[in-house]
Structure formats: structure tokens, C-alpha cells
Structure 1
Amino acid sequence: MANVDIRQEDLEVPLKRGRWLVVLKSPIFMVVPILLSILVYTQLPANVDYEPRATLAISTGAIALWVLEPIPFSMTAILILILLPVSGAVSMDLVLSGFASPAIFLILAGMMLACGLEQTSLGKRMAFQLLYWFGEKRGGILAGIILIPQIMAIFIPAAAVRTTMLLPIVFSVFSILGIEKGDVQGKKFMLGAAIGCNVSGTGILPAAIGNVVTVDLINYYLKQHITYMDWLILSLPLWLILIPVSWWVLNRTFPKEEKVPKGLKKEMKRLIVELGPITAQEKRTLLILTLVFVMWAMEDITGWPPVIPTFIGVILMATPGIKIANWEKLLDIKFGPLILLAVTLSLGRALFETGAIKHISQWLENDYTLYLFSQPALSVLTVAILTQLIHKVTSNVSTAVIATVPVVISLAQHAGQSSSPLLLGFTAGITCLFGFLFVVETIPNVMVQQTGWVTQRDFIKPGICLTIITTVLTYVLALTWWPWLGYL
């Protein structure tokens, strides 16, 4: 990419800044979860048996570690993997059961598929093409930045992967336009990247780990299966509305007039030409990705869960004669997210099998909560607000899902036939994607903030607006779309 200065240092965590504070906080943040675990274990009512007592204590400590983050998320997951069976709270088979979930293999296959896509110029070509079409229109650059991850979401699971692919493209735009740190347009475009990547997981089941965890929990707790098309149909209006709404909110909260960027279209055209004509490799990649998408959509007909089409796509990418990517490179993935996801699923099962969730729902159950959960539309609004509040203090989507979905399902079951446990579990799961207010709520927020182009303060105004809007939209769906589909 000639003349395009992609500042790689902007993608790295500013380690030196505040290092002394991290060193000071880490020991304290390790002690607090231990104290919380001890407090929960010793202060629970006497009628709570040992297994749920120990499971709740370990879960509390683990959630505190995920919130405070003195150690990596996956390291906390391995601690859970050790503590649950060693304490005698659950069997080793149950602790390892999460690793056998189709959800793990779906994310694994999706990451391999993304590795194959990254070995071609297809993703970059689509991004440049979008910016070519929209770039010189007023507000077009922001629209392009928000739309790019929406298209990526169809084929690339995990918002972190999409964010990693999007940021260099955003920095290319900055270099072309001469945007510097501190510029209002730079802040707006960076927040567009974070919000766009968060929203991009809404409608596509494999596009967010939180979605996969939610579906697994619903299947395990309720023995009800949500297909790819079920998720898409339920969430489609919310997803389609949030794309232009996100653009509108960012333009309203960063009202500085955006100059029409003359020359950007020409530069994008040059970069597209520099990539050359679409190659046979890219055409084969596009064909495979389309085939995978079609097979996902036909789950009701074929009976194949999404993991099977995804692995078919991976195999095709490395098949001699097609050969989009080397098999060894497809295996070059990070296993930290997989460990975190597997242990999160196991923890959800442990909470259910030991009866810990039953105790939690009984403690929360009173005339007021039963009333809220007995009113279909009101219960959706209650769950959306409750999930947003819990999500504000949890630093990853999987943690928020495991902290809300099981409890919501249990409360809905106790509320009687007027409340839909499946739909409320879905509401809690999808709301966990909408972390717009605080940096720590989602990985895309963290990745964008760590570039140094935006601060926590920059998230506040658009974050408040989008949090309110998503909550209201969810309630409107509960009054309209979901009853029309027969879910309420």
C-alpha cells in the first residue's frame, strides 16, 4: 500500500503508561476475588449444600477476576478448571463437558475460516470498495467503517477478529486524509469501528461468542435448540435498525462538520487497482464462503448444526486443486478464547447441576420479580435493563452471559406460562453484545481504546444514547415483532 502509513504502534497496548499503577493494583485485585469467594462460602444460608455452596464461591471469585482482570481471562478459566473438581464441587467429567460442546468447535472452525480469508486480499478488497462507494459522500466514511464489520460478520466469527482486520483499514483512511490524534473526526471514526464491531454480532449466530454461549445455555437448560435462521429472524430488525442509528448517534454526538474528503475515492480506487483484478483464489474463497452461508441458512432442512458447514468450508480451503490456504496456517489460531469459552460453558452447567442457579432464583424470587416476569413485554424490558446493569461491571461478553442467562431462564420458569424462558434467555444474551458505555464492556472497545485515539470519556455520550436506544428497541420488538412470530 504505497503512500499509506499504517501506524502499527497504534494497535499496541501502551504498556509504559501507568505501569506503576498496574503493578500496584494487581496484588490487590488478586486478593479481592479470594476474599469474595470466602465471604460467599461462609455467609450462604445453612440450608445450602456443599456442592452449590462451593460452586457459587468459586464462580463469584472467577467473575471478580474477570471483572478486575489482574490475570488474563483464559488463566482465570484454567483456575476454574482446577478448583471445581479439586474442591469436590463437581466431577471432572462435568468440568470438561464444555470442551465437548458444538459451540467450541463452531468458534474453532470459524477462526480457521477467518485465517483462510486473511490469506487472501478479499476482505481488504471489500473494505476498500465500500469506502470507494461511500467515502466522498457526506458522512460516507463513517458509514463505510460501520458497514465493513457487518459484512465481515457473515463469514468471520468473533468481534475481536473483525476489529483486528478493520483497524489497519481505518488507519489507512487517517493517513490519506491527514487526520491526527485528538481530531474530532478521528475520535468519531474510531468509535464507529468499536460500535460497528459490537453491533455486527447482533444478527448472525456464529458472529459473536456471546451468541454461541447463549444458544448452548438455552439448549442445556431448556432442551430447546435455536438454529441459525431462528437467531437471524428474531434479531434481524434490531440489527438492521442499529446500523443507521449508530451512524446517526455518532454524527449527533460529534457534531463537527465533516469535510467532504476530496481525493479519498481516487485513493481507494488506486488501492483497489494496486490489488489487481480479483484473483482466482479470491473467487474460490468467495464461492466457499457463500456455500457456507447457504448451508447455515438451510439448517432446518439439512439438520446440520452450523459447525458442520463451517468445517466443510475449512476443508475446502485447504483441499488440493482448490488450495486457498495451507492447512498448517489454518491451524495457527489462538486457543485462549476457546479455553475461556469452554470453561464458561462448563461453569454454566456446574451452576445448573449443583442446584446453585435454583438457590439464586429462589433468593431473587418475590412478589415484585414474579409480577415483572409474569407480564410478557414487561419481562423483556426488565431483562434488558437488568442485563445492561450487570454488563456494566463485567469485562467480557461471555462473563455477562453466564451471569445473566441462567438466572433469567430460572426466574422465567418460576413465573409460569405467561413468560417465555427461551425468549428471555435470548434477550439477555443479545443484550450482552451491546456494551457501548464503558471501555471494559467488550473486546472491540478495549482494542480501540488501546490505540490511544479515544478515551473512556469519548464513549460516554454515544454510549448513553445507544444503551437507551437498544433497550427501547428491544422492548418495541417484544410488543411487535416477537408476538407476530409467535414468541410472546
Structure 2
Amino acid sequence: MSLMKKSLQRKNLNGLWMGLASFALIVILLLPTPENLPEAGQRALAILAFAVILWVTEAVSYSVSAFMIVGLIAILLGLAPGTEDPSAPLGTKEALKLALSGFSSPAVALVAAALFLAAAMQVTHFHKRLALLVLSKVGSKTNHIVIGAILVSIMLAFFVPSATARAGAVVPILLGMVAAFGLSKESRLAALLVITSVQAVSIWNVGIKTAAAQNMIALDFMDQAFGKNVSWGEWFLYAGPWAIIMSILLYFIMIRAIRPETNEITGGHELVEKQLRELGPLKAEEKRLILISLALLFFWSTEKVLHPFDNSTVTLVAVALLLTPKIGVFNWKTAEKEIPWGTIIVFAVGISLGSVLLKTEGATWLSDQVFGKLGLESMPLLSVIALLTLFNILIHLGFASATSLASALIPIVIALVSTLNVPVNEPGFVLIQQFVISFGFLLPVSAPQNMLAYGTGAFSVKDFLKSGIPITIAAFLLIMLFSMTYWKWIGLL
């Protein structure tokens, strides 16, 4: 009965949030249009307010919200005066093109292809084998297993372009090791290992361009605004050292924040070896997947250096090989069951909404209102980075999806950077804020991989905060240190 009551309460709340989103949309539409904002820009901001309330409250699923956003852009912008010719409405056909423009982005092609690659890893269990191999080498001491959990997350980030898939591979293995010692999944040891693994996943979402979908959104907006394409190797040069230092700090923070019941898991090593034996020798499809993955990593990392092919093209070719009979590892029927198609739709519509905000000048106006009042444009660059990073971290508390946060925030950051009165590499400034969007260290709801781990019951929100607060502080300070030193030295700022 209590479950039914909770379900009814949730439905009632969803209806309330849906009503609030609609109310915000209507109010913004009815307000007088500011002098320096086109009417289309005001309508784009109304749609943004509607979308943000839905994303933050999850009143409807992200996929459903994507369809609503497309419909609103098509109708509201279609009936608004055109930005180029204000004497005539844009027309719903042209507005619909804007609403669907994200689907033609190479970034969407890369994310879709990356999801196929992640599905291939899951179907063959190769990601599990890789995780077990690493954990089999670290021994049975608790602090060594913490190091192993971090190393697994690092290695998988290079090959599995899905944070949720990476967490899904590692968390069950770690819980199995805890169970082998005779402890429950509610133990301190379980909390330590599971939280460590997902925090490491978030860190390496920053470190590697292809590790997280939200990175592609920022790069697409940067390409539109600045004509700047950041290669896989350039991204790693910028963010890799930050992620390596954060991984070391993560180890020391975790072993102090959550102290386990034991310093050694007796039988843990044997359990890992047993699971490896159960997987059996490398299968033919795993060997083919390894070859394709290594080739893909080579082409990703040498983009603009040894060849002219962009990441999206290379990844799509790899997917074609993965689906080719006798060469690949799975068929379309298997793949389509594993792919979260809604993610691709949400991602594309997020790009469309951000593009609309930029094209209608809605992002510029909002940037002036939010940051102009603070006088950021006349502050020293490091002060701007510090304040914007803190704002980014705080606003992330309301977003369960970094993809949605990137769609809403990066266009505003792009608009802001053009107003700064200090010399700055504009794409680099925006890229640093994209790094911050991937943080997700504070709460279980801050990232899908956190929620996956939280769903195991291995830790409480309080446990997560115990580690999340010092990790966030360390990440913020490291952003500032890199902004003062390394990123200036290599020309990112």
C-alpha cells in the first residue's frame, strides 16, 4: 500500500512540476520584450526555462522532454519575427529545421557510435574481463583494491565511451569481493570501494574527450561559435594531467573519508580469479573487439597529427566493422536492444536548444543579466574563472544530467566570454567550464553513474557527501592552480 501511495505522490508531484514549467513558459512569453533582446530570443529563453524545470525535477523522462522542446521551438519560434527579417515570421518549417539541427551534428554521430561501442563491450563482457584482470593484479589489501578500482576506471575510460557502462562493469565485481569476505553490501568497505569507483569515473569524464557524451555538446557549440575543433590528443593534453593528479588525490581522500572494517579482503583475490576462469579464454569476438578498439584509440589519439580523419568519422567506421558479419562482434538485432536510443534524441535536442539560444541572442542577453550584474567582464581572468566555476558546481546540484547542464550552460558561457575585457583564449575558457560540468562529485543524483551505484544500497547520501565535499574542493583548487600555471603555459588560456 505504501508503494502505491509513493507512486501516487510522485505522479502528483510530476503534475505539479509540469504545471510549474508551463507557468514559467507562459509568464516569460507574456512579459514585455526587453529592448536589447529579439522576440525570438525571449521565446527561446521561455523554452529554456520550461526545459530546465523539467530536467531538474524529472517531471517527465528526458526523452519525452526532448519531444516537447522540439514542438515548442517549431511553434513558438515559427510564429516569432525572424532575426534576420523581423518584418515576417520565421515560419514553422524553418523553425522545425532549427529544432532538428542537432541531429545533423557530427557530435551526435560520435555519441551514437560510442553507444554502439559500449554495447559491444557489454555483449562480449570484455569490459568486465579488463576490470577483473586489473583487480587480479592488485592483491587483497584494502588500500590496494582502492587503487585497483581507480585504475580500472582509468583504463575503461579509454575504451568504453559511457560512464554508466564503466560503472556497471566495476561495481558488481567490487561488491562480489566484499561478499567474499563475508561482509554485507551495507558495510563500510562496500561504501569505500563503490564510491571510489564512481568518483574515478567522473574524474575521467574530464580527462578523456570520448569518455562522456556531455563533452561532445560543448565541442559542438565551440565549433559553431569559434570554428574550433579540439582533437582527442589536444583534449588529453589539456585535461589528462588534471585527471591524473585528481586520481591520486582521490585515493588519499577516500581512504581517510571512509574507513573500512578490515585492511585486507581474505578470499577476494581468489574470487576475482574464479570469475576470470568462468569467463574462459578470450573468445574470437573479444579478440576482434580488442583489435578494433585499439585501432580506434590509435586514430582518436592521432587525430590532426598522423591523419585527417575526425573522431566522429573514425568511430562510425569502427561501428560499421563491429556490425559486419565475421569481422564484427554482434549483429543489428542484438545491438538495437542494448542501445539507449532516448539518449541520442536528448543529446541532439540539447544541441538544437543551445544553438537556438545562440542564434536568437537569448544566450547573450541571459549572460548579460546573470553575469553582467556581477561585473565579471571587468574582473581579472582568474577571478572570473573562480566565480564561474563555483556557479557551475552549485547549479550542477539541480541537474541529474550533465548533458542537459551542458546544453543550458555552455551557450551562456560562450556569450559571456565575448564580453570579457581581459585577453583570453575564448575556446579554452569555455573548455575549462565544460571540465567543471563533468564534476558530479557531491550527490548521488549529480550523475547517472552515481545513481547506478547508489541503487545497490552500498552507501548513504551522507557517505557520498563525506567524500564528495573534499573531492569537489580539491577539484576546484586544482582548476584554479592549472588556470594559473599549466593551462597558461600550453596556451589553453
Q: Same fold (TM over 0.5)?
A: yes
Q: Equivalent residue for 2:184?
A: 180
Gaps of 5+ in 2: 81-89
In structure 1, the partner of 2:340 is 334
What residue is the counterpart of 1:393 in the other structure? 398
Q: Taking structure 1 as reference, are residues 387 and 15 closer, same or farther at Cα in structure 2, changes over 3 Å only?
A: farther
Q: Secondary structure at the match of 1:39?
A: helix
Structure 1 residue runs without a partner (length 5+)? 1-13
Q: Distance in 2 between matches of 1:432 and 1:170?
A: 27
Describe the SS at the equivalent of 2:419: helix
User: Is the 8 Å Cα contact of residues 436 and 466 (structure 1) preserved in structure 2?
Assistant: yes
Equivalent pair of 2:141/2:263 in contact (CA under 8 Å): no
- Cα–Cα, structure 1 residues 417 and 187, in superposed 2: closer, same or farther, change >3 Å? same
Distance 1:24 1:367, change over 3 A: closer
Which residue identity does 2:207 align to in structure 1? G
Residues in 2 aligned to 1:388 and 1:308: alpha-carbon distance in whole angstroms: 33
1:26 matched to 2:18: no
Residue 263 to residue 423, structure 1, CA distance change in 2 (3 Å):
same
In structure 2, C-alpha distance between the alignment counterparts of 1:242 and 1:394, rounded to whole Å: 23
CA-to-partner distance for each residue in 1:121-144, whole Å, 9 max, x for gaps?
A: 422221111111114134122222
Is the CA contact 2:174–2:190 (under 8 Å) kept in the aligned structure 1? Answer: no
Cα deviation code 1:244-297 (max 9, x no counterpart): 222221211112453311222122222222322333332222111100000111
The range that moved more, 180-189 or 321-330, is: 321-330
Percent identity between matched residues is 26
Change in CA separation of 1:459 and 1:423 when aligned onto 2, cut-off 3 Å: same
The SS at the match of 1:365 is helix
- Which residue is 1:62 aligned to? 51
Q: Structure 1: which 4+ aligned runs deviate by more than 4 Å?
A: 14-17
Partner of 2:231 in structure 1?
227
- Residue in 2 aligned with 1:368? 375
Evaluate the alpha carbon distance shift between residue 369 and residue 130 of structure 1 in structure 2; reply closer, same or farther with a 3 A threshold. Answer: same
**Equivalent-residue separation in structure 2 for 1:188 and 1:110 (angstroms):** 30
| Paired residues of 2:381 and 2:422 also in contact (CA < 8 A) | no
Give the distance between the partners of 1:298 and 1:265, measured in 2 at CA.
37
| Structure-2 change in CA distance of 1:223 and 1:336 (3 Å) | same
Q: Sort the Cα spacing of 1:288 and 1:20 in 2 relative to 1 into closer, same or farther, 3 A.
A: same
The residue number in structure 2 matching 1:462 is: 467
Does the 8 Å CA contact 1:215/1:225 hold for their aligned counterparts? yes
Corresponding position of 1:40:
28
* CA distance 1:160–1:28, change in 2 (3 Å): same
* Secondary structure in 2 matching 1:202: helix
Q: How far off is 1:385 after superposition? A: 1.4
Deviation at 1:449, TM superposition (A): 1.7
Is the CA contact 2:177–2:265 (under 8 Å) kept in the aligned structure 1? no
> Residue 10 of structure 1 corresponds to which residue in structure 2?
none
Does 2:413 align with 1:425? no
Q: Secondary structure at the match of 2:418?
A: helix
In the alignment of these two chains, the number of paired residues is 473
The alpha-carbon deviation at position 312 of structure 1 amounts to: 2.1
Q: What secondary structure sits across from 1:180 in the alignment?
A: coil
Are the equivalent residues in 1 in contact too, given 2:189–2:259 (CA < 8 A)? Answer: no
Asked if 1:163 is matched to 2:167, the reply is yes
Quote the offset at 1:22 in angstroms.
1.4
Against the structure 1 CA distance between its residues 449 and 250, is the aligned structure 2 distance closer, same or farther, given a 3 Å change threshold?
Answer: same
Q: Deviations over 1:280-337 (max 9, x none)?
A: 3322221111000001112103221111221222222233442422243233312110
Verify: 1:259 aligned to 2:263, yes or no: yes
Identify the range of structure 1 (337-346 vs 24-33) with the bigger mean alpha-carbon deviation: 24-33
CA distance in 2 between counterparts of 1:137 and 1:390 reads 38
SS in structure 2 opposite 1:302?
coil
TM-score scaled by structure 2?
Answer: 0.91
Q: 1:51 aligns with which of 24, 40, 43?
A: 40
Measured in 1, the distance between the counterparts of 2:303 and 2:375 equals: 40
C-alpha distance in 1 between matches for 2:5 and 2:390 = 35
From 318, 321, 329, give the equivalent of 1:324: 329
CA distance in 1, matches of 2:218, 2:431: 7
Call closer, same or farther: CA 1:453–1:259 in 2, change over 3 Å. same
Q: CA 1:270/1:158 → structure 2, altered by over 3 Å: closer, same or farther?
A: closer
The amino acid of 2:221's aligned partner reads: L
Distance of 2:459 and 2:275 partners within structure 1: 27
